[in-house]
Structure 1
């Protein structure tokens, strides 16, 4: 495999200009509408940056990006950095009201979006207390700027801007499951290091072709793309995930990697069961975002012949925090070890200053250069999240063995308390997902007058299969203690997901469910 020299910069600001020196005419990004070389990306990002500085953006401003995956998104991202701006990648699933809050909170002076979102963006931002230019990737309506005008800018090129590695690079907003979302401010160093360390742990090289549908506004999607561009690989970027299309792209481009979340692999396996596809080019794949069952990993590795590398991360880390090294045999059920330079420990649930004994569940905590600078304009939330000695609360319940491998139990906030017992949905999901008639499963709480909450499993059946609630409850009883078993099974056609494909457990109770059964 081809090896490359190690870059010496510490910011995503210079990633493209460094890569273009080594891989100028090599394909960097492939989308359904266009293939761009490294030179193309570099040239267009520089031209748009100059246009931004000549127009609505000054160095130090914040620039938002609100659109689906597309090549223009990546150009906008790098042009904003080159203009000396802080980038605010926005989840495209946010409502106009939520978008308005984010743009006002971060003070963005420009926002990139697509034609299908342009009218609602203009409406959502009409009452902002500050000016924010709307730049549209496609045909621009009145009151907006056409992206093509920036691409054809004929003025002087963007100046070379040097950024303090410790200064803000990105503001990534959390999902906001309670109250308003919080903007995690990530430094240039944190974003770059996450890409570099991810590339190192996953043994990425310029020979790699990576297929992904992960949303680039999300830190996992961003790192999947930029850790590949950092080493001169090629990214095949899907606008949205669709299983058959993903398998087709893997075959067409002889992809060496696919990157996704657990639900994507379940859908890929269901598609493979109904058709055939060539996956022999894959050398390794990655999965993160939520816990994944061992059965799903085994099925994928058997079907693809490629190891499936588990990882864990969060917005407040600008990407990954733990993963497995591509050259080390994986430890089943573990999310791996900490990235180099990052400290990871499991703290006592009652006293975060104390570490829990090996093998005992506690809260996963991290410390090091990948940790966010804080929540934008919210010192109170920052103080709650980061201890005075720098340890970040992740909100994940985990255990750690004596070798440093971490095992996530579940999200602390997703824990179900039934009859005084703590029940973790992920544990139930891992068991039920191993049933051959189950394509997807998610577990959430339903209220109960006696026990407070009951665990309900929402199941999407494998195509052609007709499992019964009794079958699945009996299956779960073989592996789970009585208090951990689901008390209800509901069969549904689909599960609510985020833009990354992660299942939204808190939305499960809103499902217009099919037949259900009580245990």
Structure 2
């Protein structure tokens, strides 16, 4: 589809829920560990939540911070805040206290809706810091029978209660009680405009420095429409999605909080990824669409085969955040009988910008083709005004209606990545094949320059990962005098395995150029990962440099 042939629907995010509640009011919108909420009930709760926030002083343009795992209260708070025209600032409930406090201070939200287990980080020592803080009890969303069992005086119930609940400081009111008791916001209360900021999502961006990505209602609605156009086989009001990707992450937010709602789909909501929980959910409601990351697909397919669990209801799956291994894709498709495709995006693109076609033409390992209404260029990283020749590696630029409005109150950082004409610098190095498919070479900032040669860490990782005895690998560059950087392979080994540098170099000698061969190895117990399971090479590099300093 030509970019100018794609039109963004004239909607805001709250319209998505209003439309679903009007079209399929009795459809189950959310299934949280067996407790069901219909679209009629969800819309009513969101209107009550909007009234709660309005009573707390929230006005259009104000920030409302959500520090919540995936749960029905998260969806309700999200739509309630947006209904007022407020800006939802999403936060990882497992973030460190220092990180969370810095984020809250940066966007200045006066109202925080937080999980009880996160309150010690939101208001350390009971200090609300002048904010209105509202506590979410995760158990309040459980089925009645589950709530009863949690009250039993037995060790298992006590352990479950402690995992889901936490102490509530003085002055912190119950979000659940307020939403239940407050009358809905009047229907004539003005809502947001399409160009208004809808959400703030925290990311390292393209430079590694944490900042808040501001996405407008138009950005989010555009990506919903692009996704629905791309996956044309989805049936309105009939799909069952898994909501296991974190809502505070761009992938989970767009897939679950907006796209699934736009489709009137039922969502199986999980507070965290747990194989047993997900398989139990699929037995209760056969899933038709699964969004996840490669480690999820690998673990679920293996467990389903081992336990003889039927996953053949899953017609479509989309994988993101990291490269999808061909074997993982093949195993998933064999177990489910459905199709799995890979998408590419970043928080700054709401997040999806490219995807594989949902057809036999899909190509595991490739980022795919531009989404509807999306343009791309591949340019010289040192001079983005110059396009690279066909087939050569360069930095990916993206332009489209899903490209973000800028970093929150940070025009300098925005100017670093936004070029004239609305082109976003992604910081990713890619090449485009003759048939238009785009393949990732590496992150520009993670590119290793050794002896004047460009070394792409992912290529070295692919070569080493298949080595016997190696369970996982991350490749980074460490300072090495005149050479510039030295290629270092950080290995996680199988139990009992012994792998040294000589063995790695012998294994890789026919797979890598001489300049890309690791010059040293380090054995780690595990690799640091993001919330979605992506290996954090930057953290690996910092760990290895710290270890070298202390020698």
TM-score w.r.t. length of structure 2: 0.84
State the match for 2:151 in structure 1: none
The residue number in structure 2 matching 1:517 is none
Q: 1:154 aligns with which of 182, 186, 194?
A: 182
Change (3 A) 1:86 1:284: same
Taking a change above 3 Å as real, the CA distance of residues 498 and 14 of structure 1, as seen in their structure-2 partners, is same
Deviation at 1:411, TM superposition (A): 0.9
1:268/1:434 CA distance change after superposition, 3 Å: farther
User: Following the alignment from structure 2 to structure 1, what is the Cα–Cα distance between the partners of residues 125 and 204?
Assistant: 19
1: distance between equivalents of 2:441 and 2:208?
25
* Counterpart secondary structure, 2:387: coil
Q: Structure 1 residue 63: deviation in Å?
A: 0.6
Matches within 5 A, 1:77-476: 77-123=78-124, 126=127, 131-138=130-137, 140-155=168-183, 157-159=185-187, 160-175=189-204, 181-203=210-232, 204-205=234-235, 206-225=237-256, 226-268=258-300, 271=303, 275-327=307-359, 329-434=361-466, 439-448=471-480, 451-460=483-492, 466=497, 468-469=499-500, 473-476=505-508
Q: Which residue pairs with 1:28 in the alignment?
A: 29
Distance verdict in 2 for CA 1:57–1:432, change over 3 Å: same
Q: Deviations over 1:455-487 (max 9, x none)?
A: 33344456x784745665544333222222334
Gaps of 5+ in 1: 1-5, 514-519
Q: Distance in 1 between matches of 2:544 and 2:518?
A: 19
With 132-141 and 36-45 compared, the bigger mean Cα shift is at 132-141
The alpha-carbon distance between structure 1 residues 32 and 332, as it changes in their structure 2 partners (threshold 3 A), is closer
CA RMSD of aligned residues (A): 2.9
Deviation at 1:287, TM superposition (A): 1.0
Per-residue CA distance 1:283-311 (angstroms, 9 max, x = gap): 12111112233333334334443322110
Q: Tell me what 1:516 maps to.
A: none
Deviation of residue 177 (structure 1)? Answer: 8.9
Asked if the contact 2:341–2:355 (Cα under 8 Å) also holds between the matched residues in 1, the reply is yes
Q: Is the deviation greater in 443-452 or in 356-365? A: 443-452
| CA distance in 2 between partners of 1:71 and 1:485 (Å) | 49
Alpha-carbon distance between aligned partners in 1 of 2:175 and 2:276, rounded to the nearest angstrom: 32
- Which protein has the bigger helix share? 2
Q: Does 1:10 align with 2:11?
A: yes
What CA deviation, in whole Å up to 9, does each residue of 1:407-426 have, x standing for no partner?
11111111122233221122
Question: Is the 8 Å Cα contact of residues 296 and 434 (structure 1) preserved in structure 2?
Answer: no
Q: Structure 2: which 5+ residue stretches go unaligned?
A: 1-6, 138-166, 546-551
Does the CA contact (< 8 Å) of 2:206 and 2:427 recur in 1?
no
Residues 466/380 of structure 1: CA separation in 2 closer, same or farther (3 Å cut): same
Counterpart among 528, 531, 540 of residue 508 in structure 1 = 540
Q: Which segment drifts farther, 10-19 or 487-496?
A: 487-496
Q: How far apart are the structure 2 equivalents of 1:286 and 1:156?
A: 36
Contact 1:398 1:406 in 2 (8 A): yes
Distance in 1 (alpha carbons) for counterparts of 2:355 and 2:477? 30
Alpha-carbon spacing, 1:512–1:251, altered in 2? closer, same or farther (3 Å): farther
The alpha carbon displacement at 1:354 in A equals: 2.0
CA distance in 1, matches of 2:213, 2:112: 18
